[in-house]
Chain A
Amino acid sequence: MAENILDLIHKPVKKPYKRMYIKRRNSAGEYESTWQRIDSKDGIARVNSWGTIEYSIDAEKVIVNTWDISQLKNSFSNYDGWFNSSLDDRSFWFGYLDHKDTKLKVDIGLYDRDDTVVGEITIFEGLIVNAENTSDLISSISTADYSKKLNEISFQDFGLEGQTLSASEIIDAIFTDSTVTMFFSSYVNSPKKDYDLLIDSDVNDIFLESAWQVLQYLAKISSSTISVVNDEFNFIGRDYIFSSSLAVDSNGALAVDSEGVLAYAETTQSNADVTIYGTGSNSPYGNLTLYGSAIYDKGGSDKLYTTIVETSTGSKVQSLAPSLLIEGRTKEIDLSDIVSDADKTEIITEYLSRFGVKRPTISINCSNYMGLLYPFNKFSVDSPGRQKVADDVFIWGVSYWEGSDVWGVRTGANKVYPSEVFNIEKVSYDLDVWATNVFGRSVSSL
Chain B
Amino acid sequence: MGSVKTFKLNQVNSGDTFDFTTASEDASSLLYDREFNNQLASVASSDGTNEKFKVTFNTPQDISAVGLMNHNIKTGNIKYLDSGLVEQDFSVAISFSANTDTNSFFDTFTKVTDAYGIVVNCDYTIDAGEKKIGQLLSLESLYDFDSAKRLAPRLKIQQEFNTKSDGGLDKIINGVKHSGSVKFDNLDSTDIDNLFSLAVHPDPFWIYLAELSDLNLKEFFKVDDIYLVNMTNEPFPQMPSGLIDSIGWVDKIDYSEV
Which B residues are in CB contact (< 8 Å) with A16? 172-174
Interface residue? A391 (CB, 8 A)? no
- With beta carbons under 8 angstroms apart, the residue of A12, A44, A277, A292 that contacts B171 is A12
Q: Which of B6-14, B101-109, B118-126, B182-190 is the contact stretch? A: B6-14
Size of chain A's interface in residues, with CB distance under 8 A?
31
Q: Which of A33-41, A164-172, A177-185, A352-360 is the contact stretch? A: A33-41
Interface residue? A6 (CB, 8 A)? no
**A14 & B14 in contact (Cβ 8 Å cutoff):** no
Q: Which of A63-71, A192-200, A230-238, A283-291 is the contact stretch? A: A283-291
**A383 & B171 in contact (Cβ 8 Å cutoff):** no
Given contacts A13-B171, A40-B33, A115-B37, contact A434 B160 (CB under 8 A): yes
**A37 & B29 in contact (Cβ 8 Å cutoff):** yes
**A41 & B204 in contact (Cβ 8 Å cutoff):** no
Distance in Å: Cβ of A124 to nearest Cβ of chain B = 18
Distance in Å: Cβ of A20 to nearest Cβ of chain B = 14
**A290 & B172 in contact (Cβ 8 Å cutoff):** no
Q: Which of B81-89, B161-169, B193-201 is the contact stretch? A: B161-169
**B170 & A44 in contact (Cβ 8 Å cutoff):** no
Q: Mark A16-44, 1 if CB is under 8 A from B, else 0.
A: 10000000000000000010010011111
- With beta carbons under 8 angstroms apart, the residue of A44, A115, A291, A383 that contacts B162 is A291
Which A residues are in CB contact (< 8 Å) with B14? 41-42
- With beta carbons under 8 angstroms apart, the residue of B160, B166, B228 that contacts A289 is B166
Which B residues are in CB contact (< 8 Å) with A45? 175, 258
Which A residues are in CB contact (< 8 Å) with B175? 45
Interface residue? B26 (CB, 8 A)? yes
- With beta carbons under 8 angstroms apart, the residue of B9, B32, B162, B166 that contacts A367 is B162
Distance in Å: Cβ of A416 to nearest Cβ of chain B = 11
Interface residue? A109 (CB, 8 A)? no
Size of chain B's interface in residues, with CB distance under 8 A?
28
- Whole-angstrom distance between the alpha carbons of A12 and B168 in the complex? 9
Q: Mark A239-267, 1 if CB is under 8 A from B, else 0.
A: 00000000000000000000000000000
**A383 & B165 in contact (Cβ 8 Å cutoff):** yes
Interface residue? A315 (CB, 8 A)? no
Most B-side CB within 10 Å, residue of A14, A42, A289, A290: A42
Interface residue? A321 (CB, 8 A)? no
Which A residues are in CB contact (< 8 Å) with B204? 44
Which B residues are in CB contact (< 8 Å) with A41? 14
Closest to A111 in B: B173
Closest to A80 in B: B203
- Whole-angstrom distance between the alpha carbons of A12 and B26 in the complex? 36
Between-chain CB contacts (< 8 Å), 22 pairs: A12-B168, A12-B171, A13-B171, A14-B170, A15-B172, A16-B174, A37-B29, A42-B13, A43-B10, A43-B32, A43-B34, A44-B204, A44-B228, A277-B165, A279-B166, A289-B166, A290-B165, A292-B163, A294-B165, A433-B172, A434-B160, A435-B162
- Give me the interface of A with B, judged by CB distance under 8 Å: 12-16, 34, 37, 40-45, 115, 277-279, 283, 289-294, 365, 367, 383, 432-435
